[in-house]
Structure 1
Amino acid sequence: MKKSYVAVTSVLFLALALTAYSERGAIMLKILPGALDKIMSQQPLAELPDGLHISLCGAGGPMPSDNRSGPCVAVMAGEQLFVVDAGTNGARNLGRMGFNQGKIEALFLTHFHSDHIDGLGEMAMLRWVADNNSGPLPVYGPAGVAEIVSGFNRAYAQDAVHRTDHHGVKVAPPSGAGMSPKDFALPKIGESVTVYSNENLQIEMISADHFPVTPAVAYKFTYKGRSLLISGDTVKSPSIEKHSAGVDLLVHEALSTKLMVLMAESAARTGNPLREKLFNDTHNYHTTPVEAAEIARDARVGHLLYYHIVPALMAPGMEAIWLEGVEEVFSAVTLGQDGTSISMPANSREIIHQSSLL
């Protein structure tokens, strides 16, 4: 009797499953409107408490990765949205996380390596048409940012014409296309320069050390008693440590020398001398995970968030190798990936780890 009941139940379940599969299009048409309404009505900025918050729109470096796109950090200060660097997929990830790219106040570049700028054109275009902005996207950076902006503006000039011709001036007003540069002289080592400020917010530019890549800078955000510093690409830097002193959150790049050596050795064994050289060349202008932890410890920061994770952590166990030795130096760490979000309510000491937005 029991076996018969199980058999009948199994047949019925299979029949229901087959019916559901065959009618999946019709079922989806019933479900989709509500799901789309939920997506369209997302307002993550409005849902956050007043404070300083970050979401990684790109946690990786130049190497392909399934869950770590090119470097991109969204910073929310109160109701203002800023972006630091615009790596591949950064603009799209912002949309996937529910942010309206049209609300971006300004974008800040740490330096001009391709993986930090290759999503600029898309970021500017989406910012323009997502909220019918009538002015171009302000792009802040050290000397040289004007040339970068000019090049992207030229490359996207015809696209801008097409957008306006197709959607009209109410969606894509010509005056809002592209970007406008805001460049600043590189601060002396150990010093900073304020590049953006209002009543409650200060954004400072700080020299980093990514030699032979120059200029290279970090950015420090201070808002209503909360602070964070985004390192950009750099070796372990006394200047970064100095300006990180006491910040609530240090967002720092890092590269695992051990994993890069393994990759270089593999390239040598398999007859790829160019790749071997590329993998070996990367060691001398990045920070190791342990070195970043030492900065966090010595600067007495509240929390360390790793980003610009190099190399790509493609297999189980690689994260453990990447983090070797970190726990012994500084334990309040997060290994970032796309969507990692941290919230710091104003005038408090809370550091809240949000659910991933992706």
Structure 2
Amino acid sequence: MKRSAKFALVVAGIAVAGFAGFKVAQGPLTQAVFEYEVDRNLGRDPSAALPDGLHVYVCGSGSPMADPDRAGACLGVIAGQQRMIFDVGSGSIRVLGRMGFPVGRTDKLFLTHLHSDHFDGLGELMVQSWVPNARAVPLPMLGPPGTAELAEGFNLAYRIDSGYRTAHHGPEVANPAGYGLAPEEIVIPEGATSVEVLRDGDLVVTAIRVSHDPVKDAYGYRIDYKGRSIAISGDTAFDPAFAEASKGVDVMFHEALDVDMIATMGEAAQRNGAKPVAKVLADIPGYHTDPVDAARIAALAGARMLVYYHTIPPMPSSLIENMFLEGTGKAFGGDIRLGDDGDLVSLPAGSQTIDYTHVL
């Protein structure tokens, strides 16, 4: 046998032996990795390592349209010791949990308006913010008129489930006094465009009326903390009043709907006989904002960064994303980002930096 052939057989023998050894060791090795990851993550709060400042978790950058990569509208915000969630679309709480947001210690939930895609993850939040941290008081939920009725419905719908959990885990963990939602309705006076809804030390949260007819009471929010600031549009058509209320923010989070893409989808639905779908697609551009118009709002506000979230339609490739963003750079000279689930935007106090990372 030639020397090269003998060498090949030896290498093959070592490979086979190594694979067999790996199969034998795979169980203990996998178990060790599993135990390491569990110990590294379970019961720990990654947000505790964040510097003092404003930190925004993009937990839902999608829309009601099916998209495997984007949950329904949601932003998690940490401002100092306050942990807040703005809207809670479908699937968003699982994204927040994976991102390391302390869902079990949520202080307040704010709703922009009462379209179902902005609250259809509410049941999951109710449970995840109650049991894991043995909450002793219901979760405060602030939103426009109608919020109390919404809370009443969810509290009733999950009451049977809550009883099972208390019976199973005991009141020390599933405290009945901490179950459910405590609603507080925000009313912006007639003729006013905004109202302060929370002031806690250095933190100020302001609700801003936006244009989402026929939804009468639709709000955006501005959050200020120690010289850093963000604005959240919620659902709105092009609205300079929102820009005025957002003057000088570091980062604007704005919804966006690409009118041309939606028109193409509507034409296809009409051709294929899906008339109800075509009607919906024809209706929705009127109460959303085109990406270029959202960029104009950010420019009017003098924002430093614009992050698109709650984007319509789904964008399955970077080519579609480029179509979505076409022309936005001419309308806004600041930094433009197309938000993805898992993005974390950090604004440290006492600094002008904007740290943008993806943590998933």
TM-score, normalization by structure 2: 0.94
**Separation (CA, whole Å) in 2 of partners of 1:277 and 1:16:** 62
Question: SS state of the match for residue 92, structure 1?
Answer: helix
Aligned to 1:140: 142
Moved more, 139-148 or 23-32: 23-32
Aligned to 1:252: 254
Moved more, 214-223 or 276-285: 276-285
Aligned to 1:352: 355
Task: Report the AA paired with residue 63 of structure 2.
Answer: G
Matches within 5 A, 1:93-242: 93-188=95-190, 191-242=193-244
Question: SS state of the match for residue 309, structure 2?
Answer: strand
User: How many correspondences in the alignment?
Assistant: 357
**Separation (CA, whole Å) in 1 of partners of 2:348 and 2:231:** 16
Question: SS state of the match for residue 258, structure 1?
Answer: helix
Does residue 87 (structure 1) correspond to residue 89 (structure 2)? The answer is yes
Does residue 339 (structure 1) correspond to residue 342 (structure 2)? The answer is yes
TM-score, normalization by structure 1: 0.95
User: Are 1:189 and 1:207, in contact at CA under 8 Å, matched by a contact in 2?
Assistant: no
Shift of 1:352: 0.9
Change over 3 Å in CA distance of 1:32–1:329 after alignment to 2: same
Shift of 1:4: 5.7
Aligned to 2:34: 32
Aligned to 1:277: 279
Rg (Cα) greater in structure: 2
* Coordinate RMSD, CA, aligned: 1.8
Identity of aligned residues (%): 40
- Structure 2 residues without counterparts, runs of 5 or longer: none
Does residue 300 (structure 1) correspond to residue 302 (structure 2)? The answer is yes
Residues 142-177 of structure 1, C-alpha deviation per residue, up to 9 Å, x if partnerless? 111000100000000001101100000110110000
Shift of 1:124: 1.3
Moved more, 308-317 or 71-80: 308-317
User: Are 1:83 and 1:107, in contact at CA under 8 Å, matched by a contact in 2?
Assistant: yes
User: Are 2:291 and 2:328, in contact at CA under 8 Å, matched by a contact in 1?
Assistant: yes
Change over 3 Å in CA distance of 1:291–1:35 after alignment to 2: same
Change over 3 Å in CA distance of 1:19–1:266 after alignment to 2: farther
Shift of 1:293: 0.6
Shift of 1:25: 3.5
Question: SS state of the match for residue 220, structure 2?
Answer: strand
